[in-house]
Chain A
Amino acid sequence: MKKIFYQKSILPGYGLSLGITWLYLSLIVLLPLSTLYIKVFTGSLDEFISAVFSLRALKAYEVSFGLSFVSACINSLFGFLVAWVIVRYKIPFKGFWDALIDLPFALPTAVAGITLTWLYGPQGWIGSFLEAHGFKVVFTPIGIAIAMIFVSFPFAVRTIEPVLKDLDPEVEESARCLGASRWKIFQKVIFPTILPSLLTGFTLSFARSMGEYGSVIFIAGNQPLKTEIAPLLIVMRLEEYDYYGSASISVFLLTVSFVLLLCLNFIQFWNRRYLGTI
């Protein structure tokens, strides 16, 4: 059987739209990204390993991935809570809160960075209070986590919210009529339905935190081995004219991003199959 790559349509413009789309994508995304891999393959394996898995790089991954994981967890928890409160409960100024959730998307990362650094720093409102109690946030991993939580928070809320809105009240009502307790309904009806979107939100927020640069570098203090994130290390290597080193770390991060994208697609696939069985 002949494989059909394109089903004919009566609408014109197939060639034109195909051409523009793939040309633009190739020039802007595919060609540049492939040079990164080519650059890395020009070196030997030893060179690559020593660049990607140097002590400094390993520590940077530890900081980046560890704190992204923590902030994605916190975001999933509070993202769910905020989505729940906004969808289910009557609260004053709902429109205001709803619009506010997108603020981290709208606020440039550099602005978020200096704002959070000031706020949690020794002269800021929250920082001065915390420091009086012997608690330091700025230039510590906690500060990095706060910046990551800030920038990736909307992902968590915005993925859960539509699914909660769509949840049919009849399903919950019938569970209630059949004698399920509130906790049981949450556990057996609500949670399984929102689980895929919860995971999607988690993955998106993890990916965003991992790659975040602008807001983190201000608050992190950027001490090698301690509070240096992986994207910053790429910049450092570039500034040292160690192009191979920065390309290697970039390739590593890029590959992780691709894996995360794969996970997202898998969750979507799984969710569709799961919804199909209801």
Chain B
Amino acid sequence: MKLKKIFMFSFRFILVFIALCFLVLFLVIPLFVVFYNAFSKGIGMYWGNITREETIEAIFLTLKILIVVLPLNTIFGIACAWYITKYKFRGKKLLLTFLDLPFTVSPVVAGTVFVLLFSVNGLLGGIVEKMNIQIIFAFPGMVLATIFITFPFVARELIPIMEEQGQEMEEAGRMLGARTWQILLKITLPNIRWALFYGMVLCSARCVGEFGAVSVVSGHIRGKTITIPLEVEILYNEYNLVGAFGVASLLCIIGLISLIFRKWIEKRDPQNLYRQIHRYGD
């Protein structure tokens, strides 16, 4: 009996040990590497790297993309979640499948699609040329590619929680004579505010960090179409390792903020995140 207990204990210990080793090897060390390399030449060098002219330009361009993408995706997210959870209609399953698209489609394919669409022989290439606006290898193309990658983030956070909450409150509001905007502003939005906020944080983090799709449509024009991740790539290819990791550390901090935020929201509303994870499982 005692032998069996010892065996079970050591079995558990080994499992925990292997799991934690895997996590340390694959997750903790890489995170540490970024900051180790970024600060390897001292804080002064680090500060110099992240305040260089190119880096500042990249940060501004990334923010500009974010300012356009985030409101659009938020409006779409609220409308789409409302549409899916408040009504019964055919094709709901199809719509939900579309929302999964960016998770399975390669970002490179997403970028390529827009290059083809707006190329000279493309479907919209002629129109764009006539109107004399540059889309590909310019700001609008990068916005489009980013939207393609990030469009479902807000909606996917909202759908499970709105599904759970049902629609009695909204119906009651309607019965009492509330107008559409009153229902939205006074009933629905306060109920979903944390999920909405978290969806926006996720969307922003992904938007800032997107590399594959944006790199295809950006054309890598220095000082014009370089976002933060592309700046990391350029510095790395110039063998400026410390600079590349310095800029990368900025992206890391944004990622870490979204992780901490997730934990924080989980504490406030433990059911919420649990539910949204559950969607994949069942």
Contacts and interface: CB of A to CB of B under 8 A. Distances in A.
Interface string B140-158: 0000100110010000000
Given A115-B33, A163-B282, A103 B106 contact: no
Given A110-B248, A114-B232, A238-B115, A81 B19 contact: yes
A162 B83 contact: no
A204 interface: yes
A35 B212 contact: no
A235 B110 CA distance: 11
Nearest to B144: A28
A21 B151 contact: no
A91 B16 contact: yes
Given A35-B113, A159-B280, A108 B229 contact: yes
Contacts of A247: 112, 116
B238 to A, nearest CB: 12
Contacts of A115: 30, 33-34, 245, 248
Given A29-B98, A159-B280, A12 B183 contact: yes
B248 to A, nearest CB: 4
Interface stretch (B47-55, B126-134, B189-197, B256-264): B256-264
B67 interface: no
Interface string B47-89: 0000000000000000000000000100110011011001111
B27 interface: yes
A272 B281 CA distance: 11
A11 B147 CA distance: 29
B93 A107 contact: no
Given A36-B113, A197-B281, A85 B19 contact: yes
Interface in A235-250: 235, 238, 243, 246-247, 250
B108 A150 contact: no
B29 interface: yes
Contacts of A253: 105-106, 109
B149 to A, nearest CB: 10
B89 A116 contact: no
A257 B105 contact: yes
Interface in B9-24: 12, 15-16, 18-20, 22-23
Give the interface residue-count category, chain A. Answer: 35 or more
Given A115-B34, A243-B121, A78 B106 contact: no
Given A5-B89, A20-B76, A124-B33, A211 B107 contact: yes
Contacts of B105: 211, 253-254, 257
Interface in B26-49: 26-31, 33-34, 37
B34 A111 contact: yes
Interface in B96-118: 97-98, 100-101, 103-109, 112-117
Contacts of A159: 280-281
A201 B95 CA distance: 21
A82 B216 contact: no
Given A21-B76, A104-B27, A149-B26, A7 B88 contact: yes
B216 A238 contact: yes
A109 B107 CA distance: 11
Name the interface size band of chain B.
35 or more
B74 to A, nearest CB: 11
B87 A7 contact: yes
Given A9-B87, A243-B116, A264-B100, A114 B248 contact: yes
B90 interface: yes
Contacts of B26: 149-150, 153
Given A114-B236, A114-B245, A82 B23 contact: yes
A141 interface: no
B260 to A, nearest CB: 7
A135 interface: no
A118 B116 contact: no
A7 B92 CA distance: 13
Contacts of B107: 211, 213-214, 231
Given A5-B89, A150-B26, 5 more contacts: A13-B184, A17-B79, A82-B19, A85-B20, A246-B112
Q: What 10 A-B pairs are tightest by C-beta distance, nearest first?
A: A211-B106, A108-B209, A106-B255, A214-B211, A213-B212, A17-B83, A20-B79, A231-B108, A207-B104, A85-B19
Interface of A: 3-7, 9-14, 16-18, 20-21, 24-25, 28-33, 35-36, 38-39, 78, 81-82, 84-86, 89, 91, 95, 97, 99-104, 106-112, 114-116, 118-119, 124-126, 149-150, 153, 155, 158-163, 165, 196-197, 200-201, 204, 207-208, 210-214, 218, 230-232, 234-235, 238, 243, 246-247, 250, 253-254, 257, 260-261, 264-265, 268, 271-272, 275
11 contacts: A11-B87, A24-B76, A24-B80, A32-B144, A36-B116, A100-B259, A106-B205, A110-B230, A111-B232, A211-B107, A243-B116
